[in-house]
Amino acid sequence: MAVHGPAMTDVARLAGVSHQTVSRVLNGHPNVREQTRLRVRAAIAELGYRPNGAARALVTGRSQVIGVVAQNTTLYGPASLLAALEQTAAEEGFAVSVGSVRNLDHRSISAAVERHLSHRVAGIVVIAPVESAGEALERLPKDVPLVTVDGDPSRPVPLVTVDQVAGARAATQHLLDAGHRTVWHVSGPSDWFDSVGRIDGWRQALLAAGLEPPPPMPGDWSAASGYRSGQMLARMPEVTAVFTANDHLALGVLRALHEFGRRVPHDISVVGFDDVPEAAYFIPPLTTVRPDFDAVARASLQMLLTQIESGTGGALRQTVAPALVARESVGPPRR
Amino acid sequence: MAVHGPAMTDVARLAGVSHQTVSRVLNGHPNVREQTRLRVRAAIAELGYRPNGAARALVTGRSQVIGVVAQNTTLYGPASLLAALEQTAAEEGFAVSVGSVRNLDHRSISAAVERHLSHRVAGIVVIAPVESAGEALERLPKDVPLVTVDGDPSRPVPLVTVDQVAGARAATQHLLDAGHRTVWHVSGPSDWFDSVGRIDGWRQALLAAGLEPPPPMPGDWSAASGYRSGQMLARMPEVTAVFTANDHLALGVLRALHEFGRRVPHDISVVGFDDVPEAAYFIPPLTTVRPDFDAVARASLQMLLTQIESGTGGALRQTVAPALVARESVGPPRR
DNA sequence: GACGTCTCTGTTAACGCTAACAAAAATTGG
DNA sequence: CCAATTTTTGTTAGCGTTAACAGAGACGTC
C-alpha cells in the first residue's frame, strides 16, 4: 500500500519552480505568470499530483470537511436532509463526514462532536430533533461554527427548521375546510420538536376555529404505531378526519381503516406529513405536507459558511415553510 | 473563532513530561510508567486537550476516515447501508465521509474518489450498483484499499453483495409453490446489477420449473413506475402472480390492482424485495425479501480493514444471503 | 538614467504529530 | 555493588502544506 503519491515539491521540481509557486497556482493566487501557471498545471497532470488535505488542514487549522451529527439516517426526513446537505456542501468544495448516533443524549452527541472536532472539521451541522440534544449543544465549545437543524427553538443556537407549526396548521385547516367538525391527531414521539410543533399547529388550527382539540394519540413515527392508533380510530364512529404526524403513521392508519371497512376518504379523511415519494401511491393517494429539505440544507450550509468565513457565531434563525400537497385521501365528511 | 485548542506540547508541559510521552499515552504504547500515564491523563482532562487528526494523518499518511461513494442515499437500500456502515465504522474508531454523486458514471465516481483521496482517507467503499461505475473503478490507483458493494461481479475488485439471484429465486419459487402457473416480473432499471440479478433469479426459478419466463416489465424502482406496470398487469386476466424488483414498485402495483378491482392475494399475488419498514403495512401486507444490510456493512468494512492493515489488495468476494419474509400478499391462484 | 512601484518568484519557518534513535533510570544477576 | 540488561523518557527530524517576508525583474516617471 504504502506508495505515497507525489508531493508539492515533486511538482515544483518538474515544473522548475519553487513549491510555493505550486501552492499559489493551486490556490488561485493572482500573481502568477500565465506561462508558469501552465507549466505547473502540466506538471500536476503529468505526475497525477493530488494535494494533501491533511497537511493543508494542519497548517490552516481547518479542513474542508463539514461534520454532520444525526440520529436515524434511515428515516426519510433525516436521510433526505443528509443527502441534500452533502450535495450542497460538495458544490462549495466541502466534504461531509457523518457521525450518526444511536441516541440523541448528551453523551452520544458530545462524543460525536468530539470525533468531528478531532478531525478539525470546518463546522458542524447537528440534526437534533429531540429535547435531550439541546443540553449537549449548550456545553459545546463556543468557538466552533455550528448550526442545528430542527432543534430546540428556545435555545440560543443558530437554527434552521421546517415550520412544523405552519405545516400542521395547514393540514388541519385543509380538513376543516373540507367540512369536518373536528380533526383527530396521531402524533410523533413527544420528545421530538417536530412532533411538538405539529401537535401545536394542529391545536392552533382547531382552537382558531373555536373547537376543543381531542386528545392526540401518541405514536413513534412508525407504520406499526400508526396501525395501532388506526385500529382505535376505526372503532370510533364520530371520527371523520385524522391528521398524522408523518406519512408512515398515515400508512398504518390507512391499513387499519381498510381492515375495519372504513373507506378513505368516504368515511374518514387522512392527512400525513413529509410527502415521502410513495405517498402518492398509498391507497388512496395521501394528502400530505411537504417540507423542502433542499431549502433547509441550503439555508443551514449557508449559515455555517457565513460563520466559518466571518468568524462570528451569531445566533441566527431561519424557518422554511412546508407546502400542502392535496391528493385523494381527503374529502367532505359523510353526513 | 480562531482560538486554537491546546496542543500536545501544552499537555506535556503541564504534566512535566515530553510531548512524546503524551503521544505514547495517547496511542496506548506499553512502556509508560503507570504514574506518568495518570499524570498525563489528568493534564489532558484539565486542558480539554483533543488530538489533532490532521497532524496525525499527515505524519502517518492515513486518517481515521473511511470514504463512502454512493449515489442516491435517499433510497431505502443505500440509506440503510450507509447508516450500517457508519455504525460499524464508528465501533472501529473510524469516521465516515460521504461523497454522494448524481450519476454513477466514470467522471463522477472518479471525482468523488479523488476528493476522498485528497483527504487521505484510509479506505474507500463504493456503493456502485450500475454498469458505468465498473470502468471507473478499474482505473483507480491500485494502492488504495477499496471495497465495492453491489458492484459488478465480473470485475477483479473486492466485492460484497447481497445475493440478488438467490433472493429473486426464493421469491419466485414461493409464488410457484403457492400453485401459480407462472410469475410475472416488474424489474428495476436495466443498468443496475441488483436489477439484473433479480431478473436472473426470477428467470432461473421459472426455467427450473420448466416454464417459459414472460417478458419482464421494466421499471425504475419508483412506485410511479410500479403503478404504470400494475395498470397493464391488471388488464391481463392470465396474470395471477407478480414479483417486483423492490417494495416501492410493489406498492405501485398494489394500488393499480386495487383501482382495477383486482384483489390481492385473492386474484393476484405480489412479492416485493427490500422489506422496507412499511411493507408490513401495505394493503395487504407485502411478502418480500429482506437483505441483511448490517451483514453487508460488517463484511465490507471488515474486508476494508483487512486491506488497510495488511497492505494487500486481495480481490475477495463475499455474498450475503437475503431472507424471504412471508406476509399476506401471497395466496393460491383462483381457479 | 536613477528611483520608486508593481508583479512575480523564492526562502524560511511554522502547524502538531509520530518514528527513530539516544539517553537516562530502574532492574536484574552474579 | 558493578556491569548487563530492560524499561522508561527525552531529543531530533521530518510529514506536506501555507504564511510571511525577502529578493529579483519589469515598468513607468521625472
SS (H, E, C) chain A: CCCCCCCHHHHHHHHCCCHHHHHHHHCCCCCCCHHHHHHHHHHHHHHCCCCCHHHHHHHHCCCCEEEEEECCCCCHHHHHHHHHHHHHHHHCCCEEEEEECCCCCHHHHHHHHHHHHHCCCCEEEEECCEHHHHHHHHCCCCCCCEEEECCCCCCCCCEEEECHHHHHHHHHHHHHHCCCCCCEEEECCCCEHHHHHHHHHHHHHHHHCCCCCCCCEECCCCHHHHHHHHHHHHCCCCCCEEEECCHHHHHHHHHHHHHCCCCCCCCCEEECCCCCHHHHHCCCCCEEEECCHHHHHHHHHHHHHHHHHHCCCCCCEEEECCEEECCCCCCCCCC
Task: Determine phi and psi for B95, rounding to 5 degrees.
Answer: -95, 160
Query: Quick one: average pLDDT of B109-132?
Result: 85
CB-based contact B144 A1, cutoff 8 Å = yes
The residues, ordered by sequence, that sit 6+ positions from B47 with a Cβ below 8 Å of its Cβ are B6, B10, B11, B14
Q: Judge whether residue A31 contacts strand C, using its CB and a 7 Å cut-off.
A: yes
Query: Quick one: average pLDDT of A217-241?
Result: 96
The C1' atom of C28 and the CA atom of B9 lie apart, in whole Å, by 35
Q: Which residues pair with B98 in a beta bridge?
A: A96, B68
Q: How many CB pairs under 8 A join A and B?
A: 178
pLDDT, position A136: 77
- CA distance readout (Å), B35 to A219, B41, B166: 53, 10, 58
The residues, ordered by sequence, that sit 6+ positions from B192 with a Cβ below 8 Å of its Cβ are B129, B130
CB-based contact B73 A82, cutoff 8 Å = yes
d(CA A90, CA B111): 11
Nearest-CA residue of chain A relative to B253?
Answer: A281
Contact status, residue B254 vs residue B283, Cβ threshold 8 Å: yes
pLDDT, position A313: 64
* Cα B301 to the center of its chain, rounded Å: 11
Chain B residues closer than 8 Å to A144 by CB: 1
Contact status, residue B206 vs residue B213, Cβ threshold 8 Å: yes
The C1' atom of C16 and the CA atom of B54 lie apart, in whole Å, by 8
Chain B residues closer than 8 Å to A98 by CB: 82, 86, 95-98
SS (H, E, C) chain B: CCCCCCCHHHHHHHHCCCHHHHHHHHCCCCCCCHHHHHHHHHHHHHHCCCCCHHHHHHHHCCCCEEEEEECCCCCHHHHHHHHHHHHHHHHCCCEEEEEECCCCCHHHHHHHHHHHHHCCCCEEEEECCEHHHHHHHHCCCCCCCEEEECCCCCCCCCEEEECHHHHHHHHHHHHHHCCCCCCEEEECCCCEHHHHHHHHHHHHHHHHCCCCCCCCEECCCCHHHHHHHHHHHHCCCCCCEEEECCHHHHHHHHHHHHHCCCCCCCCCEEECCCCCHHHHHCCCCCEEEECCHHHHHHHHHHHHHHHHHHCCCCCCEEEECCEEECCCCCCCCCC
C-alpha cell at A222: 412508525
Contacting residues 18-47/B vs strand C (CB within 7 A): 19-20, 23, 26-27
Chain B residues closer than 8 Å to A54 by CB: 54-55, 57-58, 63, 119-120
- Judge whether residue A53 has pLDDT over 60: yes
pLDDT band for B228, please (50, 70, 90 cuts).
very high
**Most confident of the following: A106-110, B133-137, B149-153, B229-233:** B229-233
pLDDT tens track for B309-321: 776 666 789 999 9
Chain B residues closer than 8 Å to A3 by CB: 143
The C1' atom of D22 and the CA atom of A150 lie apart, in whole Å, by 52
Angle at CA of residue A289, ends A284 and A293, nearest 5°: 125
Provide the positions of strand C that have an atom within 7 A of a protein CB.
7-12, 14-20
The residues, ordered by sequence, that sit 6+ positions from A227 with a Cβ below 8 Å of its Cβ are A252, A253, A255, A256, B281
Contact status, residue A309 vs residue A217, Cβ threshold 8 Å: no
pLDDT tens track for A262-290: 999 999 999 999 999 999 999 999 999 99
Query: Quick one: average pLDDT of B58-85?
Result: 87
Averaged pLDDT of chain A: 91
Angle at CA of residue A177, ends A175 and A181, nearest 5°: 65
pLDDT, position A1: 39
- CA distance readout (Å), B142 to A2, A5, A17, B256: 11, 12, 30, 49
Query: Quick one: average pLDDT of B34-47?
Result: 94
pLDDT, position B64: 87
Cα distance from A212 to chain B (closest Cα, Å)?
A: 31
The closest of B101, B163, B113 to B138, measured between CA atoms, is B113
Averaged pLDDT of chain B: 91
CB-nearest to B223 from A64, A76, A278 is: A278
**Most confident of the following: A306-320, B124-138, B148-162:** B148-162
Angle at CA of residue A122, ends A119 and A128, nearest 5°: 90
Contacting residues 54-83/B vs strand C (CB within 7 A): 55-56, 58-60
Placement of cell 378491482 in the chain:
B261
Chain B residues closer than 8 Å to A80 by CB: 74
Q: Which residues pair with B147 in a beta bridge?
A: B125
Chain B residues closer than 8 Å to A115 by CB: 90, 95
pLDDT band for B2, please (50, 70, 90 cuts).
very low
- Judge whether residue B1 has pLDDT over 50: no
Q: Which residues pair with B180 in a beta bridge?
A: none
pLDDT band for B72, please (50, 70, 90 cuts).
confident
pLDDT, position B265: 94
pLDDT band for A51, please (50, 70, 90 cuts).
very high
CB-based contact B308 A254, cutoff 8 Å = no
pLDDT tens track for A22-31: 999 999 988 8
pLDDT, position B152: 85
Least confident of B78-87, B197-206, B241-250: B78-87
Task: Determine phi and psi for A82, rounding to 5 degrees.
Answer: -60, -45
pLDDT tens track for B4-33: 689 999 999 999 999 999 999 999 998 999
pLDDT, position A314: 67
Given CA atoms B247, B249, B252, B258 in this order, what sign does their dihedral have? negative
d(CA A21, CA A10): 12
Cα distance from A121 to chain B (closest Cα, Å)?
A: 10
CB-based contact B1 A72, cutoff 8 Å = no
d(CA B284, CA A228): 16
Query: Quick one: average pLDDT of B201-208?
Result: 98
pLDDT, position B154: 84
Contacting residues 29-88/B vs strand D (CB within 7 A): 30-33, 35-36, 55, 58-59
Neighbours of B85 (CB within 10 A): 29
pLDDT, position A91: 85
- The residue among A182 and A109 whose pLDDT is bigger is A182
The residues, ordered by sequence, that sit 6+ positions from B85 with a Cβ below 8 Å of its Cβ are B66, B68, B96, B125, B297, B300, B301
Q: How do beta strands B95-100 and B65-70 pair?
A: parallel
Report the predicted TM-score, pTM, of the whole model to 2 decimal places: 0.89
Contact status, residue B277 vs residue B268, Cβ threshold 8 Å: no
Radius of gyration over every alpha carbon of chain B, rounded to an integer in angstroms = 25
pLDDT, position A2: 40
pLDDT band for A292, please (50, 70, 90 cuts).
very high
Nearest-CA residue of chain A relative to B226?
Answer: A281
pLDDT band for A62, please (50, 70, 90 cuts).
confident
